[in-house]
């Protein structure tokens, strides 16, 4: 919702420009969502990564021959969007999405609405773009053994560019008015620290996320009207007499229809 529905008339007079969804006759804009686009985007990524099958080395037998690799998945409950609200015991392997600074980039010098969304999410409403949100966040990976950590890194690297048509990972977000979100991998780092000897290994992978910040606003169709005045000159405000607007009369001679 671009502005509060309960904005006082006095403050409305101070607001420069026409607010989104201000229509006649006046009516309140739709209420805002209870979550932001970032949350929807990361929930989608969490579900996607929980369905990826990772493969780690199975080690070697007594003769030094490689054993069959072991497939595994990371439960969606072990993929956190930021730090949890309360203390939680992690079950390795696990992932945590760490916040990064986000930028709100303007989409242009004028507003933009998706006309194809007219009445899709509510009668008399349309989706309007506010800005483009770009953030580089980090996927922190926790694992017990080196082989497990490496296999998770390898799986995420390939799963972040799964299609032939384009680089990066893209999703449609039905819970955020059908907007697209893009994920592209950046830097990575593996931490070599004392906890590694205690079966607590970790790594981080930078991922850039971008999507449009949108909202649902009211609209009214424009109904053009054309008025024609035949008894006045609108340019000069001069009335025209009926004689001047009537058919022209012959100035002399006769008219023989038969030739």
pLDDT at residue 134 in the model:
98
In a domain, 144, yes or no: yes
Q: What is the pLDDT of residue 243?
A: 60
Is 126 contained in some domain? no
The answer to whether residue 227 sits within a structural domain is no
Instruction: Establish if 165 belongs to a structural domain.
Output: yes
Identify whether 125 is part of a domain: no
pLDDT given at position 236: 66
Count how many domains the chain has: 1
CB atoms closer than 10 angstroms to residue 254: 5
State the CB neighbour count (10 A cutoff) for residue 188. Answer: 16
**pTM: predicted TM-score of the whole model, two decimal places:** 0.80
pLDDT at 252: 53
CB 22 within 8 A of CB 34: no
Residue 242 lies in a domain: no
Does residue 56 belong to any structural domain of this protein? yes
pLDDT confidence of residue 67: 82
Query: In this predicted structure, what is the pLDDT of residue 153?
Result: 96
pLDDT the model gives residue 241: 64
Residue 157 lies in a domain: yes
Domain of 41, CATH number, reads 3.30.2000.30
Structural domain harbouring 138: 24-112+131-212
Per-10-residue mean pLDDT, the chain, length 259 = 68 84 82 93 98 90 84 95 78 94 89 93 94 97 93 95 94 97 95 81 96 93 74 68 54 51
> Using alpha carbons only, what angle is made at residue 66 by residues 62 and 69, rounded to the nearest 5 degrees?
125
Query: DSSP of 165-225, one letter per residue?
Result: SSSSEEEEEGGGTTEEEEEEEEEEEE---GGGGGT-EEEEEEEEEEEEEEEEEE-------
């Amino acid at each position: 919702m671009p502005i509060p529905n309960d904005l006082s008339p006095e403050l409305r007079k101070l607001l420069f420009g026409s607010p989104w969804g201000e229509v006649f006759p006046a009516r309140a804009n739709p209420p805002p969502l209870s979550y932001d686009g970032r949350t929807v985007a990361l929930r989608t990524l969490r579900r996607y990564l929980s369905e990826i099958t990772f493969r780690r080395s199975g080690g070697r037998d007594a003769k030094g021959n490689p054993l069959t690799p072991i497939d595994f998945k990371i439960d969606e409950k072990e993929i956190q969007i930021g730090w949890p609200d309360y203390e939680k015991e992690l079950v390795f392997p696990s992932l945590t999405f760490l916040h990064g600074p986000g930028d709100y980039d303007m989409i242009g010098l004028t507003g933009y609405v998706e006309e194809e969304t007219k009445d899709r999410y509510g009668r008399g409403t349309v989706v309007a773009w506010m800005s483009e949100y770009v953030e580089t966040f980090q996927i922190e990976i926790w694992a017990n053994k080196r082989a497990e950590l490496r296999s998770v890194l390898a799986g995420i690297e390939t799963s972040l560019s799964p299609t032939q048509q384009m680089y990066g990972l893209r999703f449609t977000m039905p819970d955020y008015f059908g907007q697209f979100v893009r994920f592209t991998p950046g830097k990575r780092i593996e931490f070599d620290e004392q906890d590694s000897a205690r079966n607590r290994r970790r790594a981080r992978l930078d991922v850039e996320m971008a999507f449009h910040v949108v909202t649902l606003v009211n609209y009214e169709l424009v109904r053009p009207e054309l008025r024609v005045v035949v008894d006045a000159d609108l340019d000069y405000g001069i009335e025209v007499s009926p004689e001047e607007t009537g058919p022209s009369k012959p100035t002399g001679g006769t008219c023989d229809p038969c030739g």
